Amino acid sequence: MTEIKIFSPATVANVACGFDVLGFCLDSVGDYMTIRKTDEKGIRITKIDGFDLPYEAEKNVAGVAALAMYKDLDLDLDCGFEIEIDKRIRPGSGIGSSAASASGSVYGINELLGRPKDKTELTFYAMQGEALASNCEHADNLAPGIFGGFTLVKSINPLKVISLPTPSELYATIIHPQIEIKTAESRAILPKEVPLGKAINQWANVGSLVHALHTSDYSLIKNALEDVIIEPFRKALIPNFDILKANALKAGALGCAISGSGPSVFALSKGKNIAEDVESAMRQTFANTSIAIETYVSKINVEGIKTLE
Ligand code: HSE
């Protein structure tokens, strides 16, 4: 096999209470990529559709991730790789745009080489690409894309990812107000210290959410989807956030919070019908504004990145 076509899905990081550690994978939106093995050594980005992004491998998140893997494998390699990206996830949307490109390139190379690396190693290489976009290493968008479903990043040094179970009736609704928020800027506004009371509240929520995923306890999911640390600072960046959240909850969502660093906002619901009601309520919130939006309803994607036939 010398060429592979893949779908690299969008992801939701943080999942309300789990800043930088929790994430889940979507299946209705993602990037399409083609990775090709070539006789010429090195990594080349040969095509980018959709958005204006750099072709130099060292400046493109997919290229940086691929280079990190390639350098590690170099002693054994007498070939190179071309990467084509059909970019469908808007950069700066808060649903893991850079992570999808970074993890897609290393997944594709790994498949073409007969899978010499495991999922944790792929996440590690992809993290080098992700760091280019956000000025820091975090894997909470990468891990759910590569492992599928819900993931918990226990640590990044050494990298340890834990796959969590996905309750079968859980659906996500995403609204993406068409403004760009750069992850680095959205991180820069966060406080460096957290009051102990809020920390206690937050880690109780993380533990509860993990338990609720294991036991498919939807009422505990509802109870745990609360972010008392990050949301109070970041919500000011997102137009209509409070009313959007109130409307989503009123429509039946179990919880509603900022997706990653925003501006997208996600809700989780029990069942597709409620997730669609939540989508309508979210759209309605923006009906009389001048802000363009996109919305998606998605089952949780337990497979993650996949090879296309
Ligand atoms: N956990 C990261 C953040 C995700 O919230 O800054 C960025 O997409």
Question: Taking Cα atoms as reference points, which of 183, 128, 190, 166 lies closest to residue 300?
Answer: 166
Q: Is any atom of ligand 1 closer than 6 Å to the C-beta of 138?
A: yes
CA distances from 170 to 248, 266, 270 (A): 15, 13, 5
Please name which of 263, 273, 203, 209 lies closest in space to residue 238, comparing C-alpha atoms.
263
Average pLDDT over residues 288-292: 91
Q: Does 127 lie in the same domain as 33?
A: yes
Amino acid at 242: D
- How far, in Å, is the centroid of ligand 1 from the Cα of 103? 16
Q: How high is the pLDDT of residue 180?
A: 85
Question: Same domain for 178 and 124?
Answer: no
Distance CA 13, CA 176 (A): 14
C-alpha atoms less than 13 angstroms from C-alpha of 199 in its C-beta half-sphere? 6
Do residues 294 and 255 share a domain? yes
Residues 78 and 204 in one domain: no
Residue from 165, 148, 252 nearest 217 by CA: 165
Nearest CA to ligand 1 atom 1: 20
* pLDDT tens for each residue of 58-74: 999 999 999 999 999 97
In this structure, is the dihedral angle defined by the CA atoms of residues 140, 143, 146 and 148, taken in order, positive or negative? negative
Which pLDDT belongs to residue 72? 93
279 and 216 both lie in a single domain: yes
Same domain flag for 123 and 246: no
Rounded CA-CA distance 309/290 in Å is: 41
Single pTM value for the model = 0.96
pLDDT digits (tens, 9 = 90+) for 141-165: 999 999 999 999 999 999 999 999 9
Q: Is 275 helix (H, G, I), strand (E, B) or coil?
A: helix
d(CA 141, CA 130): 9
Does 140 score more than 80 pLDDT? Answer: yes
Reply yes or no on whether the pLDDT at 306 is more than 80.
Answer: yes
- CA 19 to ligand 1 centroid distance, Å: 7
> What is the average pLDDT across 27-54?
95
Q: Domain range for residue 84?
A: 3-164+303-307
